Amino acid sequence: MSDFEVLVLGSGPGGQKAAIAAAKLERKVAIVERRDMIGGVCINTGTIPSKTMREAVLYLTGLNQREMYGQSYRLKEDVTIADLTMRTAHVVGREIDVVRSQLSRNHVTMLVGCGRFLDPHSVEIADENGKTTKVTADKIIIATGTRPARPASVDFDDRTIIDSDGMVRLERVPESMVVVGAGVIGIEYASMFAALGTKVTVVERRDRMLEFCDLEVVEALKYHLRDLAVTFRFGETVASVERRARGCVTVLESGKKIPAETVMYSAGRNGVTDGLGLAAAGLSADERGRIAVDEHYRTAVPHIYAVGDVIGFPALAATSMEQGRIAGHHACDEPLNGISHLQPIGIYTVPEISFIGKTEDELTKSLIPFEVGVSRYRELARGQIIGDTYGMLKLLVSPEDRGLLGVHVFGTGATELLHIGQAVMGCGGTVDYLVDAVFNYPTLAESYKVAALDAMNKIRRMARFAD
């Protein structure tokens, strides 16, 4: 008999939900995690710290209130790293307690240390003192997550040249910063520190940022970041970073030199699989440490599953949770429906972005006709009350069956607001529902009705022309 029916490696969003799902199905479950990483990267160095820091930045700088009280308005004149980390430490501590409590009350055994396969059913766990324990399991779920990719050519010192994990460990707010890479993490931190008054330069080898987002929304974000004095260098590649007494000089291949106190590399993330001993389990990972899985999150070895960032795109906490839940059920021979194809994307820039479904470019490329309905926050009473005059909500509507093809939101509360559109799309609703629905007033949610009416008026106008 095995020691456990289900063994989970990693306690991040995917691992935690997988363990709890199996425990709810009355299986004997254990989870392997390092003592200082309960909750995984998500709680300790990634999602939770960065989003909490963002909230502190918005509050202390008074950025969202300047439309009302003037551009010089600030809640605190000199925001320090201590101001930001105090709130972050509080939230992280509370979140770790929540995870511990959930695992404990569901009778999930916590095995402290790092796991490594000895064979397909056996894992050796080494704690921080080097003491090892061997456990066996019928089913194993890998949820070890990722770490920031560190190009070998870059001399990281975790003080002036850092990766995204180093952002939550900065000793002070830098006066200037170069962000290499305009992906989600890079742009989130760039906008955060720009709001603090840091002179930020973003270097990106591609011609645009956030290529998977709606172009109009990205252009609006770029405008706002430029307003916060962010400089963009698109189509540029970093040749070298030279450390100097007062910081660094980033040298681009085009010959440009950018002086800055801090350089942050956001070069993607690699799966934490190098210490797992995958070969002993009959598994392998790709060059970025990612493990291939099927639609049930099974690896090439049927009783071993993998979920979360370690399997690659979309690598979001929200999707990782659902992957973990589905894998946990399948491992217990009680399979669920597969994950919905409608995945919301939330990007916590300043201002934030959220969308679901297709973009205009994707629909155009697929030769799918659509009509656009737009609502701008400045036209809503709630937008005026909160001082957000730049936000917008865009609906992409099929003129044939009036179904929603995509919802794109930019501005205050975008990541919350999106879920109304997600619910309508998920239930197969049409734009007619939004036209006829009564929304609380004044709210930002009212933007759905305004955008729906805009789209319907355009569809109606086309129909009149066709007569």
Integer angstrom CA distances of residue 74 from 77, 86, 176, 195, 262: 6, 19, 20, 11, 24
Q: What is the pLDDT along the chain (467 residues), one digit of tens a residue?
A: 899 999 999 999 999 999 999 999 999 999 999 999 999 999 998 999 999 999 999 999 998 888 888 888 888 888 999 999 999 999 999 999 999 999 999 999 999 999 999 999 999 999 989 899 999 999 999 999 999 999 888 889 888 999 999 888 898 999 999 999 999 999 999 999 999 999 999 999 999 999 999 999 999 999 999 999 999 999 999 999 999 988 999 999 999 999 999 999 998 899 999 999 999 999 999 999 999 999 999 999 999 999 999 999 889 999 999 999 999 999 999 999 888 889 999 999 999 999 999 999 999 999 999 999 999 999 999 999 999 989 999 999 999 999 999 999 999 999 999 999 999 999 999 999 999 999 999 999 999 999 999 999 999 998 888 76
Gyration radius of the chain over CA positions: 24
Interacting residues of 419 by C-beta distance below 8 A, sequence separation 6+? 344
Bridge partner list, 122: 119, 136
pTM: 0.93
In terms of phi and psi (left: phi > 0; alpha: psi -120 to 50; beta: otherwise), the region of 289 is: left
